[in-house]
Amino acid sequence: MVDLESGKSGDRRAEILALATDAFLTHGYSGTSMADLAGAVGIRKASLYHHFPSKHDLFVACVSEGFLGALKRLEDIRDDPNLSDPDRIRAAMEEIYRVNTTTVVGRMAPLIAEVAPRIPEVARAFYDGFIARHYGLLTGMIEDGIARGCFLPVDAVALRQLIIGPVVFMQMEREITATFADGEALVPIRRIRESHISMVLQLLTGATPAFGDVAKD
C-alpha cells in the first residue's frame, strides 16, 4: 500500500480511506463526523480537508475505491480451466463468503442503501461496479455449465440471488448481533456456508449430497 517512490506521500490518504470506510460502515454516513475520523487517524479535523475537499468526496472515494480489485479473484475462478463446473461454483461461493465476511466491501450494501436517496451517484457506482458484475460472473458460470450439459436448466437469475442473498444477510445479522454477549453463536456462518454450497450444487446437478455430512465448525 505504501508508495514505492517516496514511502510517504499517498500513505496518509490510504490510511484515511481505510479508517473512514470502517467508520462509515459501523456508524453510517450521517453518524460519522469528520472530528471522529480525525481522531481515529490521529490528526486534527482541518487536516482532513487537505486530503479530501469535503465529507461527500471522502465518502465517494471510500466506496468507489473500496470495491476496486474485489472481483479479481472471482474472475480468475471463472477463467480457471482446471476447475470442473461444480468446483467452479464451489470456489466462487467460498470467495463470495470470504469477501463478505472478512473484507469491508461485502458490508457496503446496507450502507449504500441508506445513502442512496441522498448520494445516488454512489449507489449507481456500487451497483454497476460491484453487484451487477457479481451477477454477470455468477450467471455466466451457471449458464456455461448448463450449456456444457453439466448443470440442469435452472433459472440462473434466481439462483444467483440464492447464492448472494444469504451471505449478505448473514453478515448483516452479524452486525446486528455484534453487541450481544451470545452474538457469535447466533449466526454460525461457517457451518451454514457448507450446507449452503451443498444445496446450491444440488439444485445445479440434481445430486443429493450426504446430509449428515456437514462441517461441525
Partner DNA sequence: GTCTATAACGAGATAGAC
Partner DNA sequence: GTCTATCTCGTTATAGAC
Question: Which does residue 190 bind out of DNA, a copy of itself, none, counting CB within 5 to 8 angstroms by kind?
Answer: none
User: What span, in angstroms and rounded, lies between the C-alpha atoms of 165 and 200?
Assistant: 12
Nearest 5°: CA angle at 10, between 9 and 11?
90
- 47 contacts DNA (rule: CB under 7 A): yes
Question: Which does residue 186 bind out of DNA, a copy of itself, none, counting CB within 5 to 8 angstroms by kind?
Answer: a copy of itself
DSSP string, 47-109: HHHHH-S-HHHHHHHHHHHHSTTTTHHHHHHHH-TTS-HHHHHHHHHHHHHHHHHHSSGGGHH
Angle, helices 11-27/108-115, rounded to nearest 10 degrees: 80
How many residues can be counted in the chain? 217
Tell me which residues touch a copy of itself (CB under 8 A). 26-31, 109-118, 120, 123-124, 126-127, 131-132, 152-155, 157-159, 161-162, 164-170, 172-173, 175-180, 186, 188, 191-192, 195-196, 199, 202-203, 206, 208, 211-212, 214
Contact track, DNA, 26-45, x by CB under 7 A: ------xxxxx-x----xxx
Phi, psi of 30 (to 5 degrees): -70, -25
- 46 contacts DNA (rule: CB under 7 A): yes
DSSP 7: S
- 51 contacts DNA (rule: CB under 7 A): yes
Question: Which does residue 98 bind out of a copy of itself, DNA, none, counting CB within 5 to 8 angstroms by kind?
Answer: none
The C-alpha cell at 19 is 479508517
The C-alpha cell at 85 is 463446473
* Binding positions for DNA, 52-111, rule CB under 7 A: 53-56
Rounded least distance, CB 159 to a copy of itself, Å: 7
Looking at the Cβ atoms of 24 and 130, the one nearer to DNA is 24
Question: Which does residue 46 bind out of DNA, a copy of itself, none, counting CB within 5 to 8 angstroms by kind?
Answer: DNA
Looking at the Cβ atoms of 56 and 90, the one nearer to DNA is 56
Q: What is the 3-state secondary structure (H, E, C) of 111-167?
A: HHHHHCCCCHHHHHHHHHHHHHHHHHHHHHHHHHHHHCCCCCCCCHHHHHHHHHHHH
Looking at the Cβ atoms of 75 and 128, the one nearer to a copy of itself is 128
- 114 contacts DNA (rule: CB under 7 A): no
Residues that bind DNA in the complex, under the rule CB under 7 A: 9, 12, 32-36, 38, 43-47, 49-51, 53-56
